[in-house]
Amino acid sequence: MASQIPYAPLPIDQPVSYAHGPDSSPRPGTPPGTTVEFEWRKSTVYPGTARKFWVHLPAGYDPGRPANLMVFLDGWWYLDPAGDVRGAIVLDNLVHAGQIPMTVAVFVDPGVGVGVVEGAEQPKNRNVEYDAFDDRLATFLIDEIIPHVAARYSITDDPDRCGICGGSSGGDGAFTAAWLRPDRFRRAVCFLSSFAQMPGGNPYPALIPAVGRKPLRVFLQAGHRDLGWDRSEGNWLAENLRTAAALAEAGYDFRLVLGDGAHSANHGGVLLPDALRWVWRPAA
């Protein structure tokens, strides 16, 4: 039986903001998980950088049972309980309700130059790490961050139980990490990906149908009022739609949600509970 969606008027000619659902706020009766902060200063993939990352363990984590793994790029933005995404709160609610498997989350910040004042904007490092069409980000996560986490916590090495999530440039990074390393990441959640600003252009509309289908499950969110939405070049909305169309035509297990928001983490954050339920759903 089809689900019935409550009526809501269609926004006309203006961006919107979406209200968070109940899974994005602490629920009475849901025990909070534990978040542990780490710092990483010895990268061989990105030498001369430092960054923080956080590991979140929902309540009920059992070291005797390897948990699913979800990596979140732009770590603190996605962890911040007062932000748009509220990743740890969402995980606590969904795991406690039995709606997703036990999932250990790793929230990884982009690197900053060693010695840079903490809190300063570092768009160059973030764009270099996330927008590049190469395997450096995946290698950094797989060879440096994840082993550090796995030495302390019990996480799976089954790629079907490993995912990666990001937004804007982080959406590029998440998609590229899964695309190039499906031996480690087979679930990708990509919000408002900035495919339009990848160096050399967006490779995916041509690349996806040109190679054999990879064992990926991909959740995409795009915004009708994303950057350049009404321009012939540099159109972030159009590049997300082209990527989604290529996935559809190639027969991928993917989901596209198109909203009326601008370039903001708001809609992706609101969708995170549904995105996690969707990527972790049992195989058909």
Q: What is the 3-state secondary structure (H, E, C) of 38-62?
A: EEECCCCCCCCEEEEEEEEECCCCC
Nearest residue to 54 via CA among 137, 123, 152, 125: 152
In a domain, 6, yes or no: no
Q: Can you tell me the mean pLDDT for 184-206?
A: 97
The range of the structural domain enclosing residue 88 comes to: 31-113+120-279
In a domain, 71, yes or no: yes
Please determine, for residue 1, whether its predicted confidence score (pLDDT) is greater than 80: no
pLDDT of residue 115: 57
pLDDT in tens, 5-55: 889 888 887 778 999 999 999 999 999 999 999 999 999 999 999 999 999
Residue 240: give its domain's CATH number: 3.40.50.1820
The DSSP-derived string for the chain is -PPPPPP-PPP-SS---PPP-GGGSPPTT----EEEEEEE---SSSTTEEEEEEEEE-TT--TTSPBEEEEEESHHHHH-TTSSS-HHHHHHHHHHTTSS--EEEEEEPPPEETTPPTT---HHHHHHHHH-SSSHHHHHIIIIIHHHHHTTS-B---GGGEEEEEETHHHHHHHHHHHH-TTT--EEEEES--GGGSTT---HHHHGGGSPPPS-EEEEEEETTSTTTT-SSS-HHHHHHHHHHHHHHTT-EEEEEEES--SSSHHHHHHHHHHHHHHTSPP-
Q: What percent of the chain has pLDDT over 90?
A: 89
In a domain, 12, yes or no: no
pLDDT of residue 123: 43
In a domain, 25, yes or no: no
pLDDT of residue 284: 63
pLDDT of residue 124: 61
In a domain, 272, yes or no: yes
pLDDT in tens, 87-139: 999 999 999 999 999 999 999 999 998 655 455 544 468 999 999 999 999 99
* pLDDT band at 3; cut points 50, 70, 90: confident
Q: Can you tell me the mean pLDDT for 187-209?
A: 97
Q: Can you tell me the mean pLDDT for 212-229?
A: 96
Q: What percent of the chain has pLDDT over 70?
A: 96
Q: How many distinct structural domains can be found in the chain?
A: 1
In a domain, 67, yes or no: yes
pLDDT of residue 15: 75
In a domain, 171, yes or no: yes
Whole-number average pLDDT of the chain: 94
pTM of the model: 0.94
